[in-house]
Structures are given as C-alpha cells and as structure tokens.
Amino acid sequence: MIHQAELPILSGLVESVAPTPLQAVQLDPGQPSIWCKLEYLNPSGSTKDRIAAYILSKAWREGVIGPGSLVSEASSGSTSIAMAMVSAQLGVRFVAVMPEGVSNERVQMIRAYGGTVKLCPAETGMAGCIAMTEQLARTEGAFLPRQFENPDNAEAHRRGTANEILAEIPGRTVNAVVSGVGTGGTLVGLYNGFHDSGCNITPVMARPVCVSEAACYANGCFQQADCCSFSTCVPGVMDNQSGILRSAELNGLITIEIEEEQALATTRALIMKGFAVGPSSGLNFAAALEAAKQLEPTQKIVTVFPDRMERYFSTALFRDASR
C-alpha cells in the first residue's frame, strides 16, 4: 500500500468538478417543463467526471494509488474519458479497455489525456473488457475502479449531484427522477439522495428499444453499435450489467421504453435549442416527458443530460446533420 495523504497540486480541477447548472427545459409549447441537470458541462464533458474524481481521489487518500500507479477501467466511453482526465491530474497511468466499435472521438479523447486504449473483441461484450482489466490487475497490479459494482459510483451522486439539485430546485422537492442505466450509479445515487432528504420519489429507468432491424439499419445505428450496449444508437445503456442496480432498493421503479429513433430525434431537438448533448440526453428527456403523463402536473421531474455531442460526430446522431 502507498502511503499518501494529500492530493497533488494539479488535482484542483478534480476537486472542483461540481456544481453544474439545473435548468427547467421545455422543448415545445404545451409540453411540461423537465428539470435537467446539465452534466455535460463537467470538465471532460460528462457526468462520469463525478465518479472518476470521487473514486480515484478516495483511492489516493487511502494510499491505494500514488504517483505512477496504474489504473484500468472497462468502459464504452465516458467513464474512460473521465478516468483518463483525472489520472492525468493525479499523475497516474491509465488504461481504458473498450469494445471494438466505439466511436473514434472517444478513443482520441482518452489518448489526448495520455491514456492507453486496449480494444477487446466485440463479440465478448463488456464482460470481455472487464476480464481484460482483471488480467491487468493480476499481472501489472492495476487498480480497478469497477464502475459497475463499486458503491462509490452511486455515492458520488448521492453526496454531490442530488444535493446540488435539491439546493436549486424550488421547494427542495423532487417527485420523480429519470435516467437510463449503464452502471446504474446515476439513477441509484439520485434516488437515494432524494429519498434520504424526505422526498416521496418515483424512480424511472429509461430504456431504448429498436422497433425493427430495418428501421435501425435505415437510421445507421447497427453500423455504429457498441457491443456492450443494449441499444444500438444510445451508447452505454446496458441490460443486466449493473451490480449497483441489482443490489439497490428502488421502491416503485418504473421502466419507460423509448424508440431509438425518438431518442435521437429528441437529442437533435435539444441540440437545436442550444444544449450540446449526446444521445443519452435525448433518451432521458423523452422518457421524462412520458413519465410526466403518469404524474400530477405540479410534480417536479428531474433528469440528467449526461454527456456532450462532440464524442458522437461520427455516429448515427449526426448521420444527416446537413438536413
């Protein structure tokens, strides 16, 4: 174990990841306003900055990692980008293990921070990526954040994101929280934070679905699919991968399915309103609008805009950007 007490000087940015703005968003007249946490405005461009900063800072303070240590994570994109950024600030090495087929933008961003990218065969899925990080832990002593099962993932959102939202939203009351699930940390952490604060909260899981193979091919999704994603158009949204979600108690959990084409169309509409977001934001917002139909008009719904659009320029989201 490395004995290390204080974070290095360059970690100042790590410590100032939050807060991000909370904004009531209404796309069209007649639609309800949804309270949206603009997490794409974090330093590396996604909500994953929170968990990267929380987990790696904790590991540093506890002496688990130190200067020159090796960190490795299995991720289809945003978590690896955030881990690469925080690793660069802490002065540790980072290896991202990603499935073949991820967008070039995400790979380039990791490498720009000095990280190394290893690709695992698409057919092995995220399980294959996780297995590769386990091998790095055995052979090279890599520290593994284990985002899919580490309770500190959700804890970062319970302590940080949820409290920021409660501090800004009128009446300090949230009635429903909507999020797609990759690791499950955002949904579980926000639910726990709101519940602990006394909110009568309904958790809503947004799940993208492909109506037909023909429609997905027409939309250009299959050519861009992440092997680890449940969705072919919305990267990072997975089924049955999250140990965090499986062990959580989300009372009254509702699952809302959103067609992939609707998720992409909503994302494009948000971009046209000035929100520089990726596909998961469109998924979350569309699901929040559906959730509003099941709640009273006065009830407050919160969702998250997880990441920025730049990492998706080569994907189906911008396939017909000239239209």
- pLDDT tens sequence across 159-196: 999 999 999 999 999 999 999 998 899 999 999 999 99
Domain C-terminal end among 119, 140, 161: 140
Looking at the fold, whether 22 and 135 belong to one and the same domain comes out as no
pLDDT at 18 over 70: no
* CB-CB neighbours of 5 under 10 Å: 8
Q: State the average pLDDT over residues 273-286.
A: 97
- Picking from 112-116, 213-217, 279-283, 317-321, which range would have the lowest pLDDT averaged per residue? 213-217
Q: Is 57 helix (H, G, I), strand (E, B) or coil?
A: helix
Task: Indicate if 248 and 100 belong to the same structural domain.
Answer: no
For 293, other C-beta atoms within 10 Å of its C-beta total 8
For residue 218, give the H/E element and its range.
helix 213-218
Tell whether the torsion through CA atoms of 310, 123, 237 and 126 is positive or negative: negative
255 three-class SS: strand
Domain assignment of residue 247, yes or no: yes
Structure tokens at 317: 């989201």
My answer on whether 127 and 13 are in the same domain is no
Q: Output the pLDDT for position 247.
A: 84
> Does residue 39 sit in the same domain as residue 56?
no
* Per-residue pLDDT, 101: 85
Same domain (yes/no): 134, 157: no
Contact in structure between 183 and 231 (CB atoms under 8 Å):
no
Which amino acid is located at 254 in the chain? I
Within a domain: residue 4?
Answer: no
320 token code pair: 């017909």
Does residue 209 lie within any of the structural domains?
Answer: yes
Please check whether residue 255 lies inside any domain of the structure.
Answer: yes
What percent of the chain is modeled with pLDDT above 90? 73
210-253 per-position pLDDT tens digit: 765 555 444 445 344 343 444 556 765 555 567 898 888 999 99
More confident residue, 18 or 50: 50
Question: What is the per-residue pLDDT for 9?
Answer: 54
200 and 254 in a single domain? The answer is yes
User: Does position 50 have pLDDT exceeding 50, yes or no?
Assistant: yes
CA neighbor of 39 nearest in space, from 277, 231, 301: 277
**pLDDT score for 319:** 78
Task: Tell whether 57 and 27 lie within a shared domain.
Answer: no
Mean pLDDT of the chain: 88
Same domain, 121 and 59: yes
pLDDT, mean of residues 63-91: 94
Number of domains in the chain: 2
CATH number at residue 273: 3.40.50.1100
Same domain, 168 and 227: yes
Question: What residues make up the domain containing 67?
Answer: 48-140
For position 230, what pLDDT does the model report? 47
Do 177 and 313 belong to one domain? yes
Q: Please identify, among 95, 123, 140, the residue that sits at the C-terminal boundary of a domain.
A: 140
The answer to whether residue 1 is domain-embedded is no
Coil, helix or strand for 214? helix
Contact yes or no for 37/284 (Cβ under 8 A): no
Q: Which of 78, 108, 140 is the last residue of a domain?
A: 140
Q: Are residues 132 and 66 in the same domain?
A: yes
pLDDT tens sequence across 124-165: 888 899 999 999 999 999 999 999 999 999 999 999 999 999
Same domain flag for 191 and 57: no
Beta bridge partners of 71: 94, 143
